[in-house]
Structure 1
Amino acid sequence: MTIDSAIVRAFAPTGALRASINLGNPILAHADKATGAPAGVSVDLARAFAERLGVALELVVFDAAGKSVDAVANEQADIGFFAIDPVRGAQIAFTEAYVLIEGSYLVREDSPLQHNDEVDRSGTMVAVGKGSAYDLYLTRELKHAQIVRAPTSPTVVQTFLEQNLDVAAGVKQQLEADSRTHAGLRLLSGRFMVIRQAVGTPKSRGMNAAKTLCNFVDEMKTTGFVARALEKHGVQGASVALDRASD
């Protein structure tokens, strides 16, 4: 794929591609244990796209989804990796999803809650990461339960425990890991939503830029790049979104 110079300038107005990376989503990004540098599926995709554009890559790293989204919406970053959501879509042009991630609920062992559809009841307090896809979704969907926002997604269980809340909501894999660290916790079976992870760029960059990014992501899926990246980073519980029907 040869990219027109005008589109390269649209994506890299500073001369480098600034990619917003959210370390709060362990499925897609994490700090390398040896070097501390950002690594993961989203970093691999950002590097591949910068190479495609023929520009340097600059990682803009955050600890929460909301901050990562704001960086792209406010044009402090040129692309970002986060879940598709209509609220975010007001300022950001999204590609199709490239990865699907399950959202789950976690409760205490002695909780009376047994099923996902029992959570939305008056008096139930649900912890969720501020500005995350789960926060945006549950804000729309929960009619009776009350949402309590933790500073970041990785601190959801900590907030849940410290404030003696009823439910923690978030990435299934993160909740599973936390349940192994803290005794007396369990996940409700199934999922309450599927997160459609995509790449986004400010709408102000234009339709041609957005189309170029969409084509790049489609190529990364169909050539197996995304699947290999998931395997390379040992990601479990996430799947490649191969087509629109699976999104």
Structure 2
Amino acid sequence: MKNILGCSLLLMCQFILAQTPNAALNKPIDKTMMQSFAPTGTLRVGINLGNPVLAGSIDQSEPQPKGVTIDIAKEIGRRSHLPVELISFKSAGAIVEALKANQLDIIFVAIDPVRGADISYTPAYIEIEGAYMVKATSPIKSHDEVDVAGNEIVVGKASAYDLYLTREIQKATLLRSMNSQSVVDDFMSGKGNVAAGVKQQLEADAKRYNNLRMLPGRFMVIHQAIGVPKSRAEFEKITLYLSGIVEELKTSGFIANSMKKHGIEGAKVAE
């Protein structure tokens, strides 16, 4: 009889849990951590419009940005019972500076050791490729031919690619554009002989011009994560809290579905 009763209770619990997949949302949230997480009572989220994989640009027909990071931000707000304020920037560098100035609570940015001095990262949620582009008449055919004395690589200032190439490039020269969106325009106006950046951004910008080609492959893989300021008293708990959400959104298919909805190609959900 006891075994029958025990089995019945177990089956009942499994049924209840199956009907409440968001049961984790009902767990008590650490109030001290939440006060540090969103001190104004609103979750202020930095959105990088300079990376088309992460967010779409704003125009009169689309007054609000849209994209994977917006979907994730709103889901974090829902789970945290916080209103969300989306604050758009044209470059990752500007977002990082705003976070350091305590104007933002979370940002979506590439994991980088230099930024890591001030930013605590969750696990990556998306992997993006960094690529090179040259003019059709360029003698450069492969990545091995880029880091050569005399070559000039145009890259968005303070972007993940700028930080990476600053460490890795030994012989070529880096020429920095104002932001990632300016790279191809600067390149076509005569600046440098190689353009570097997000593969999708370069491909999209190249459609506005003729006689450009991408070098095959990639020069780096960018791991995009959520960043929080280390200046917050509870930043370690905040990072752990957000890391749990990120992992759930990856395993549940939320991020993959968001990428599909927004037509994102050439990137994948991080492992």
TM class by shorter chain equals over 0.9
Matches within 5 A, 1:115-134: 115-134=142-161
Correspondence 1:46 to 2:73: yes
Matches of 1:163 and 1:85, distance apart in 2: 30
Matches of 1:187 and 1:24, distance apart in 2: 19
Matches of 1:114 and 1:165, distance apart in 2: 16
Matches of 2:114 and 2:102, distance apart in 1: 17
Find the partner of 2:254 among 214, 225, 237: 225
Structure 1 outlier segments of 4+, above 6 Å: none
Does the CA-based 8 Å contact 1:125-1:146 persist in structure 2? yes
Matches within 5 A, 1:123-202: 123-202=150-229
Pairs aligned (count): 242
The structure whose residues are more often strand, as a share, is 1
Matches of 1:161 and 1:14, distance apart in 2: 44
The change in CA–CA distance for 1:60 and 1:152 in structure 2 (over 3 A counts) is same
Secondary structure in structure 1 of the residue aligned to 2:216: coil
Indicate the RMSD between aligned Cα atoms, in angstroms.
1.1
Q: How far has the Cα of 1:197 moved from its partner?
A: 0.4
- TM-score, with length taken from structure 2: 0.87
State the identity %. 50
Matches of 1:41 and 1:114, distance apart in 2: 33
Could you report, residue by residue, the CA deviation over 1:110-133 in whole angstroms, capped at 9, with x for unpaired residues? Answer: 111000111001110100011100
- TM-score, with length taken from structure 1: 0.95
Correspondence 1:105 to 2:132: yes
Aligned residue number for residue 28 of structure 1: 54
Does the CA-based 8 Å contact 1:129-1:149 persist in structure 2? yes
Q: Which has the larger radius of gyration?
A: 2
Matches of 1:165 and 1:172, distance apart in 2: 18
Does the CA-based 8 Å contact 1:73-1:202 persist in structure 2? yes
Matches of 2:57 and 2:194, distance apart in 1: 28
Provide structure 2 residue ranges, at least 5 long, that are not aligned to the other structure: 1-23
Correspondence 1:15 to 2:15: no
Q: How far has the Cα of 1:74 moved from its partner?
A: 2.1
Provide structure 1 residue ranges, at least 5 long, that are not aligned to the other structure: 243-247
Does the CA-based 8 Å contact 2:154-2:191 persist in structure 1? no
Which residue type is aligned with residue 220 of structure 1?
Answer: L
Aligned residue number for residue 116 of structure 2: 89
Could you report, residue by residue, the CA deviation over 1:55-107 in whole angstroms, capped at 9, with x for unpaired residues? Answer: 11011110111001111122210000010000110010001111000110000
